[in-house]
Structure 1
């Protein structure tokens, strides 16, 4: 596909926001009520990084980015 730069940036923004939501949900699921919030935030950050990487690799493989 031959997409313009603005469309590619929009697709990247959608991937980024989707990954943020996935990371937040993972952090909320991993948090226990009587424990500190730090490990849950680190876990959510790791899931965010993995989700963003997976989205970008998938979109690159189908030639969107």
Structure 2
């Protein structure tokens, strides 16, 4: 009936539509709360400011066809 559907939907949302459940199971690394998003992004960009890429030497090149 309709009550059973509503109850099962609430159970599904509590078990699966929750980022904290996914984080506890290891599917995602961290849950970023909305009030700390700007701080987290700024810190990540600050850490990447001086990063230099070191790509490996190319062993082979494309031959002209």
TM-score by length of 2: 0.30
Higher share in helix:
1
Bigger relative contact order, structure 1 or 2 (CA pairs below 8 A, ≥6 apart): 1
**TM-score w.r.t. structure 1 length?**
0.30
